[in-house]
Structure 1
Amino acid sequence: MAEYSLNVQIDPEDLQTLKESKYNLCIARKVNGVYNVVWSGDAQYLANNKFSWVDEYQVFGINKFKAGALVKASTNPHDIESGQTCEMNDAGVMSDAFGSTDTTGKFKIINKFGKVSFGVNAKFGDVMLPIFVTPTTVLGTAMFEPITAFQVWFSLEQKTGTMILSADSEVIQVKYQGKALDRTVAYKGGKWSVQH
């Protein structure tokens, strides 16, 4: 399984200002075309930061998407791989994933419970953290497509697990294409740039 990494470099002068103002460094991952959960957001950053992950996912049920709230799973989370399906039964219990794995990068949940939102966790370092919650409640089937694209920004309010409608400051977006598994962004003078 490929291991990806994202390097975030922060100019020392900016770092001083950001720390004094108590900003969190936030990263979100794109799922179904949107960024709507802070995958990682905390104040434990320095001038050079390296984040790494592999494509491992879980799905879970959650009452509903609420901007500004922290993601808290309402059901048992279950591991799932590309091509597989989980089913939430009428009692609200999530099944083990079933079906053949493939390389589409998509997976789904069949909902037999009723109106509910669903979330996706992804492995970040050694822990599973939320990356997405369906913005509306789902009846029937929900399809998920995490892609290797990220948004990075600084926030006073948003932190790991916060459901968001948008970032609350200037962002930089990073996409991994082809064989590129390692990308670097830099923050200097209040501006983001991609390093090549």
Structure 2
Amino acid sequence: MSQYTLNVKIDTDDLQRLKKSGYKLCIAKKVNGIYNVVWYCEPHYFANNAFDWTEEYEVFGIKKFKEGALVKASTNPHDIESGLTCEINESGVMSDSFGSADSSGKFKVINNFGQVSIGINAKLGDDMLPIFVTPTTVTETALFEPIIAVQVWFSMSQTKGMMILAADSDVMQIKYQGKVKERTVTFVDGKWVLQH
């Protein structure tokens, strides 16, 4: 399984200003074309930061998307891979994944429980952390396509695991395409710069 790395470099003058103002460094991962959960957000960052992950996912049921609330799974989470399907039964239990794994990058959740949103966890370092919640409840089947793209920003109010409609400051969006497994961004003079 491929490992991906995001390097975030922060100019030392900007770093001191951001820390004094109480800004946290935040990252989100793209699913179904949007970023709506804060994957990582910490006040303890440095001039040089590295984030490593592999494309490993879990799915779970959650009551509903609510901006500003922290993601708390309502069902048991379950591992899922590209091409596979999980099912929430009438009792609200998430099944083992089934089907044939493939390279489509998409997976499904069938909901037999009733009105519920579906959440996704992704592995960052050694931890499985929330990256996405369906903005509306799912009544039958939902298809998910996590994209190998992240956005990074600084926030005073948002925090890890929070459901959001948008980042609350300027963002840098970073795509990983082809054989690219590592990207570097720099924050200098109050602006994000993507290194090529």
Q: Which amino acid aligns with 2:127?
A: V
Q: Which amino acid aligns with 1:58?
A: E
Matched residue, 1:100: 100
Matched residue, 1:179: 179
Matched residue, 2:117: 117
Q: Which amino acid aligns with 2:97?
A: A
Count of residues in Structure 1 that have an aligned counterpart in Structure 2: 196
TM-score where L is the length of structure 2: 0.99
CA distance in structure 1 between the partners assigned to 2:22 and 2:44 by the alignment: 10
Q: Which amino acid aligns with 2:186?
A: A
Matched residue, 1:11: 11
Deviation at 1:132, TM superposition (A): 0.2
Aligned pairs for 1:63-74 within 5 A: 63-74=63-74
Q: Which amino acid aligns with 1:34?
A: I
Matched residue, 1:155: 155
Alignment partner of 1:141 is 2:133 = no
Matched residue, 2:127: 127
Q: Which has the higher strand share?
A: 1
Matched residue, 2:20: 20
CA distance in structure 1 between the partners assigned to 2:86 and 2:123 by the alignment: 18
**Gaps in structure 1 of 5+ consecutive residues:** none
CA distance in structure 2 between the partners assigned to 1:42 and 1:74 by the alignment: 25
**Percent of aligned positions that are identical:** 68
Matched residue, 2:44: 44
SS in structure 2 at match of 1:114:
coil
CA distance in structure 2 between the partners assigned to 1:106 and 1:21 by the alignment: 40
TM-score where L is the length of structure 1: 0.99
CA distance in structure 2 between the partners assigned to 1:119 and 1:174 by the alignment: 22
Runs of 4+ in 1 over 3 A off after TM superposition: none
